[in-house]
Structure 1
Amino acid sequence: MNPPIDAPAPTGRAEAQLRVLERAIALLSSTATLDDALGSTLDACLPVLGDFGHFDVVVGDEVHRVARAADDEPAATALRQQRWRRRPPEATELSALCSGWPVLHPEMDAAWYQAMATGDDEELDAWRRLGAVSMLSVPLRHAGELVGALSLFMGSSGRRHGADELEFAGLLAALAAPPVVSARLREAQHRAEAAWRASEERLRLALEAGRLGLWEWNVADDRFSGCERFYQLHGLVPGAFGGRLADFQALVHPEDREAMARQMQRALDTGTGFAAEFRVLHPGNETRWLATYAKVHPTTPDGRPLRLAGASYDATERLQLLAAERTARADAEAARGDAEAANRAKDEFLAMLGHELRNPLAPIVTALHLMELRGESSTLPERELIARQVAHLSRLVDDLLDVSRITQGKVALKLERLDIAAVVRKAVEQVWPALEKRSLHFEASLPCDPLQVQGDAVRLAQVLSNLLGNAAKFTPAGGQVTLAVTADEAEVQVAVRDSGVGIAPELLPRVFDLFVQGPQRLDRIEGGLGLGLAIARTLVQMHQGRIAADSPGPGMGSVFTVTLPRAAPADAAPPRPAEPGPRPAAARLLVVDDNEDAAEMLTQLLMLAGHEVRSAPDGPSALALVQTYLPDVAVLDIGLPGMDGYMLARQLKAQPQLAGMRLVALTGYGREPDRERAHAAGFDEHLVKPVDPQRLLQVLAALVEARRQTPL
């Protein structure tokens, strides 16, 4: 690095500075454009205060740079290519435009370049090409505003800047500030006028196409004006407007005035546009919504806005539609939430109800099977009747758990060739107690020869028992109920007729709809849920049949007719009953159920099948029992007190001595989510109460076999 040259004598320095000032004044007085003003200032400084330099001035949202060199044009080119950037406060200040204060860097070397580049290789290369050894930068202020900075560099001359040069450069910047700012304002005004003309044309087109009302507020003299449509939008006629900002604000709805005033003031303060929606009051207190967009136009040299111009249109209908849409969406969301909550509550209730209804059926089914295994023939007719009723009740419980599944035709039918007379007898058997209770005269007319249909015996019996039950319910004591079966070559018809209350003509077309019922007494002794006929219609349609209702009117009885297609002639003999399978190998079993009757009946059934069985009423008892008794298979109820079946299954699986043990869930919870939860808890099988004993024994035999084939 070259050593600094000796400073000139005070007298010589003063003369040099005087010549610089004279030159600067002469150059600046002749400038017209911003670039001329900036370049003239630099030309006056060089080479006395530097070998090269640049002037940065804030123009709008950008920094405009002009660079000059005394006899080093490559350096000036390098300066023009450098991009001005704002540095963080903690970084070394490079320009007075960053800090607002004079900056002096008397010594600049390779280490200084490295620090100033802050890891930017491109900027580091630029500094190296520039070759500056000293620098000063002074702010350019006007009316208290920081508008730019003058930066001067020493390079090939080897000179260094000192405090005197920094002070004199500040004086030059102050001298240059007025003409520089004036030139900047002139350029800004030219650009603004061009933009205004283009904007004016766009607004004119928008006015014609969009039925817009243009307005303008001249801030300097507080004059507010608008086009004809502007007055129409505000409910005025030309000449009825005072023309001041206060007059405009008086047109705004009182509840919107303060917000509108804040937005306008914010636009003036920031020089940016704004969009607003506000209400105005028309004659007769009619309220209309207006939408407006406004923009601040050219400012005065001291930065004050000159005009605020905008366009407005009537947004009443759009906002009303949006409000209606929001309300509808909120209502829909609320309704959806309510429906989902109600659906969850319904599912939980039906699951619990199904569990509570199935639990009492399980020991009944097991007890019937035990009686059959023990050969108790004296009660065979009663057992068969109980078995039929239990099977029917089990199916009805399934229906209750998913009524929508039935009404939407999602029930899986167990189709077989049926004699319609046998189906009728099952239905009559189910309804007979109600017929007897009301002392009704019942007659059935059945054909002598079998009439075959293809159908589900339980579902068809459910349909006919529903029709007979309705006839019994709505027929006064001592009345008449008849059932007649007729047929032709293609179809079988079953007609249930009664002498009861009949059906009103207006109700007849909707009698098979969900929840539709006739007028009920206050005690609802004849009432129901209005589901039976809807379910009956769906089940009949699933059998490719149809159902119809007819009635002469109230008090004149009614008739319901079910029509089913006849089954095709049978080509093969009916299948023979399956031979009983081999007796399963004896195993060690554990039964856990808090229902004493269910646990006792199941234990007896399994012991009679040759198994060793232990039982427990709850989870803790079962965990204590398996410390000494190691079962091959555990049959667990889910709805146990305290520790439920899922938790018990996990704890049993965690017992080292029970490795390989199989688990069966025997429960009243029969929904698909219940099955998934059971398998997730470690159960191998999920059976729903009441389970067919043969089915249970088959499942246990398979699990025992799998258990014995699995190495421990």
Structure 2
Amino acid sequence: MNAVHPPAAPRSAALRPHVALRRLLQRWPAPSLRSYFVAVILLASVPIALVLAWREASEAAQNRARVDAGLQAAALALAQQADRELRATFDALAALADAPALREGAPRLPLLRARQRMQPAWASVFLADDEGAVLADTGDAAAADRLSARLRGATGSGAARLVARLPSGQVLAALPLYRDGQLHQWLGVRFEARWWPALVAAAPADAALPGLMTQAGEALAGTAPRAWPAHQPPPAGLQRLALDDGPAALAAARELRDADWLATSSALAEPLEQAERARMLQTVATTGASLLLGVSLALLLALQVTRPLGALALRGQPPQTGRLAVREIALLCEALAAAQRADRVAADQLQRRADEFEALFHGSPIGLAFARDSACVQVQCNPAMDALLGAAAPPAGSLGVFQAGRRLEPGQQPLQQACRTGGPVPATELELRRVGAPVLHVVASAVPLHDAEGRARGGLSAVMDITPLKTALADLERTHRALKAQQALVELAQDVGEAGVLEFRFRADALVCSAGMARLLGLAPRPLQGRLRDWLAAVAPEDLPGLRAQLAAALAHRRTRVQLDFRVAASSGRWLSLRLACQYLDDRPLQMVGLAVDATGLKRAERRHRRAAVQEHVGRREAQAESRAKDAFLLMLGHELRNPLGAIAGAAEVLRSGAGGPVLARRAVAIVQRQTQQLTELLDRLLDSAQAADGGPAPARHPPGDGAGSDAPRRVLLVDDHADLREATAALLAHAGHTVRSAADGAAGLALLLAEWPEVAVVDIGMPGMDGLTLARRARAAGYAGRLVAVSGYGRPRALQAARQAGFDAYLVKPLDGAALARAMDARLDGFPR
């Protein structure tokens, strides 16, 4: 049981990346506690600083977006207002151009002055030809000359409308008039120089600087930035530009639809940018101060923690000077001191346990084997194990280990298997076979011992000798079989002798009745387990009070023997006589065991005896008269029997000798039949007389011959212990064409019946051992459904009733004849006598 098998080689570390990573982390230099504190502070503070900076940047972006939206809205509102003014002006000029007074030759100035008075923003209204020469103008001549120069510059450009700034600062708005598809005249107005600044100043700006400018970069009104190249659309979004007076501003511009102008809205960039810088600087300063304070506190706390911890790590004791500032470290120092004390105590206990284990190992009656390596090369055994193995080192091949008849190889034995698999081996029954020594039966188990990495480094095996136990179990099994055989004999004795056994335990109120007892009580034809009330319920109500009183008095006086006579409620008139043996414990009844027998006949005899005692004198005279009558009857019977017996003897001699041939043989058979019938009648009269003398009813007779019977051949089983009668009946059945099998006792007959399942079974009631009634009950319980015919020398009603209850279908009273057998075997007829 200590064979050597090397363990499986471990897998290479290259195949396990997590092992290499763990080893790399183990070789990495461990940081100090100060580094951990600073890292924790940084990890806690830097994300907060980044979040604050991100929030400030987000707020700045949102603020710029709000400024952008406001400036864009202001520029759009100003552009819409300027577009409305120009559109209204061009609509008025279009209406004026349709006036008939402007046709050639008509006076034009009155009409132009009248329309000028209607528009307060107009400085003058003019009409010029296609070359730009002013034909009529409500303004001064110098303004007309400048107007002519501006119109001549626009002639030939094909413009639909003209909006321009004059050198005087006025704004020119002219509508070209066409005739036959050719430019004919210009109709226009000059706006007052103050009109557009007033319009820009009236625009809602919300702290913005509104302005109007041409796309060529000329300022018209308000504050206009210097930014975009001439004659190019402004870029989308907010732009950082310089204003006319120098400072930088954030500007938004929108184009006008009716003029080559831009509406702008500006805000000074410096206040907004200065506020953003101030908030960002404040955030950075707050975060830096927090980081500096956190790192300083972390270093201070680390100093308070690392100094005593370093002393603990180096010397195993805290610093001797000063009070520990950290309560947990003080508790740790106390716990370390307590742990050191506990270690010393544990070391002492461990040493004591090691000594105890050593003593237990060597003194244990159970065989122990201790393997110091996983290959089970170094194995130490205690004396009990050496005794089991036969020697400290048995010769190779002299010891065999077997399990269920199969030899185990060394690697399959419990200790080697536990070391090889790394798991426990449960208790296993084995056999140790040594040359020249008896076989030992043992129970062996093993457990592995693991190292720090969970691999098996050895094992411990325990082996217990169970050879005496196996021998005792074998003896117990033999005893159990003998006990079962005796129990079967007891059951058979109870069945045959109509007896039963019961046992009652008072404390548990547990009643156990044998099958015979249950049958006598009319409860069930099998063993019964119940309570005391189940037994008392089976007692006849009229006998129950007296039985309870007798039992209570016997238990109160601690009697060890009690006899109880009572009737059974489930049957009419059955008496049981129960003898009880009682046991007591501390003046309390503990158990009682009883044997019950059917005392019905005895009770009847007692009644007859009592009646005879009452009428003793009369009975004596009647007995003498009966004796004389019986003597006379016997004399007469002897005389009557000599005649038929003499005739039967003569006929038998004729049949034996064979003289006279077949004719004389048939006459002899007829003589035997007649004389047998006469003997039967004489026997019946004798039984009638005996029954009448006992005061009972007349015996039953064979059923009348009103049925022809069934002539179909059948398989018939004949069970009878009388050899001559069995042979004669078998010959009679075989002569009728039936296939006959026979048995000489009840047990053999039951076995043959259950083996061949015949159609009819003719069974004698009065047989030794297993009688016919028991055979019938067991056959019916086994499922036999064929016809059962009872044969008996008694024909009393009680015998017929017992046969019916046992499962018989027909009943015949000896002697038998072929006709009676045929009627009894016929399933169409009631086979019981009437």
| Largest Rg, 1 or 2 | 2
Greater RCO, 1 or 2 (C-alpha within 8 Å, sep 6+): 1
| Fold shared per TM-score above 0.5 | no
